[in-house]
Amino acid sequence: MKNSMLLLAWLAFLCADFTLAMLSLQVRDVWSLSSLVWFPAGMVLGVICALRPVYWPVWLLSAALVHLLASQLYGRPVTVSLIFCGYDLLLLTVTALLWQLCYGAMFRPAKVREMLLLLALCCATGLIERLASSWTLWLLDYPTDHSVSFVWMLGYILSYMPLTFFTLWLITSKGERQRSVRHAVLAAGLLLVMALIFFSPYPPSSSELRWQDLALIASLALPVSLALYGELLLLSGFLAAAVVIALSATLFGHGPFLSSHHSLPQSILLASGYGGVFALPALLYAGVIAQKNAQLARRRIGMRLLDEALQQGRFQRFQLQSEGAIRWRYQCWWPQDHHAPASWSQFVAWLHQDDRAAAEQLQRAASAYPQHLLVRMTDFSGHFYPVNMALVACQRGSRRYYEGVIFPVARQAASEETT
């Protein structure tokens, strides 16, 4: 079963890689002989960042063969194809090595600093790849411009980064299940909206504001609305598909970025810049939301463990209202023929007479930092035993209340103190 799944994944990778390669080769920069976008780089980088280096040769060799096959079908010279394929896979491998040096294999970037680190590594290696390939072609007497355009490089990288995150999260999400089908339906609906925005007929440019322009501006809110759920796999899949839709529409003569004032390569650069503005903030925002959700989940688990400990032991939690009413969380101390104190004055009456003033002072001096007090509380036979009491003041809007806990001191420790 495992081998068949790996085979299916490899075949799906080959099909997607070839399709994206042929799509990316539709527009090339005549000054550098390279493609303005290269979506397969995102898939390859995501795969090798996730897997251990022992599996890299199969995927890198497959990606190289697909790269060369697509280039030859498109009519590229063999030398140019080998140069771009070699430098592309070499620098992607370096990026993956640096990434795994920091975090190891099968690591999912879920925090903002991890996403920014991967983006910074891609920018650095992308700049090196651009320099190396252009200078190599220039040394081989190809008529290329060996200067580096930072705008072109940034758009080139941002166009495939959503695919990198999606592939990386897809591989590392083995055995996980999406929490809700509604989120997937929402993502599909948002993709349909993106397709309508970019593939709907655009009227000729005029001085009037077109509804498509307003829809394009409003589309920037679509990934942010999906990022609120903090599901990084679903969001990255939506962003990858949305960026491919935006650039594909521009490649085939649709969308808002086409203009009589711009050439097709310039329009592609505008579309890739839009893809970066569209994807990167949403990914970072989703990382923040996912981190906050993880913290809240850990705190909820901790509170459940604490509540379980309080229920199993001789502990009592209570909430004291500002008017003096007490609500007990658990009442295991109080037998059925003895009702738990319903007010602060009744609770103080259970304490030793010499400790009541200190308890009142503790209630008056309670603050956001927990205050502790050792008092003596009577049991149902009239004997007193020492207990620790802690009280903290809470504020909810204009209402002030207190959270408290009482727990007995160990009998052995108490006897040692009395002796």
pLDDT score of 233:
87
Would you tell me how many other CB atoms lie within 10 Å of the CB of residue 79?
12
CA 135 to chain centroid: 38
Amino acid 249: pLDDT: 86
Q: Are 89 and 44 in contact (CB under 8 A)?
A: yes
% the chain with pLDDT above 90 = 24
pTM, rounded to two decimals: 0.73
The position carrying tokens 């925005």 is 197
Please, which pLDDT band fits residue 278 given cuts at 50, 70 and 90? Answer: confident
Task: For residues 378 and 352, give the distance between their C-alpha atoms in angstroms, rounded to a whole number.
Answer: 7
- Let me know if the fold of 1-176 is the same as that of 314-418: no
* pLDDT 10s digits, 356-368: 999 999 988 888 8
Topology of the domain comprising 1-176:
Arp2/3 complex 21 kDa subunit ARPC3 (1.10.1760)
Ordered strands of the 326-328 beta sheet? 326-328, 316-321, 399-408, 384-396, 371-378
pLDDT score of 419 more than 50: no
The CA distance from 101 to 344, in Å, is 59
- Residue range 155-181: mean pLDDT, rounded: 79
pLDDT tens digit sequence for 137-147: 888 888 776 66
What are the extents of the domains in the chain? 1-176, 177-312, 314-418
Highest mean pLDDT: which range of 124-133, 265-274, 329-338: 124-133
Mean pLDDT of the region 224-237: 86
| Cβ atoms of residues 229 and 247 within 8 Å | no
Q: Given a cut of 70, is residue 330 above it in pLDDT?
A: no
**Segment 338-344 long-range contacts (CB within 8 Å, at least 24 positions apart):** 338/380, 344/320
Strand partners, 388: 374, 407
Closest CA to 341 of 312, 377, 307: 377
Fold of 314-418: Beta-Lactamase (3.30.450)
Looking at per-residue pLDDT, the higher value among 61 and 330 belongs to 61
Mean pLDDT of the chain: 82
Indicate the pLDDT class of residue 102, thresholds 50, 70 and 90: very high
Is a pLDDT exceeding 50 seen at residue 121? yes
With cut-offs at 50, 70 and 90, classify the pLDDT of residue 332.
low
Q: Which of 131, 127, 128, 163 is nearest to 147 (CA)?
A: 131
Report the pLDDT value the prediction gives residue 309, as an integer from 0 to 100. 61
- pLDDT for 225 equals 83
Q: Does the pLDDT value for residue 333 go beyond 70?
A: no
**pLDDT digits 0-9 by tens, 67-99:** 999 999 888 888 988 999 999 999 999 999 999
- The DSSP symbol for 351 reads B
Per-residue confidence at 196, pLDDT binned at 50, 70, 90?
confident
What would the mean pLDDT of 388-415 be, rounded to a whole number?
A: 75
Pairwise pLDDT comparison (122 vs 175), residue with the higher score: 122
Q: Is pLDDT at 348 greater than 60 in this prediction? A: yes
Helix, strand, or coil here: 264?
Answer: helix
Least confident of 81-95, 96-110, 175-189: 175-189
- pLDDT of the residue at 418: 44
pLDDT at 371: 85
Q: Is the pLDDT of residue 410 over 80?
A: no
pLDDT per residue over 236-271, tens digit each?
999 999 988 988 888 888 878 877 677 777 788 888
Q: Please state the rounded mean pLDDT for residues 327-331.
A: 72
Q: Is the pLDDT of residue 53 over 90?
A: yes
- Nearest Cα neighbor of 56 from 106, 93, 99, 3 is 93
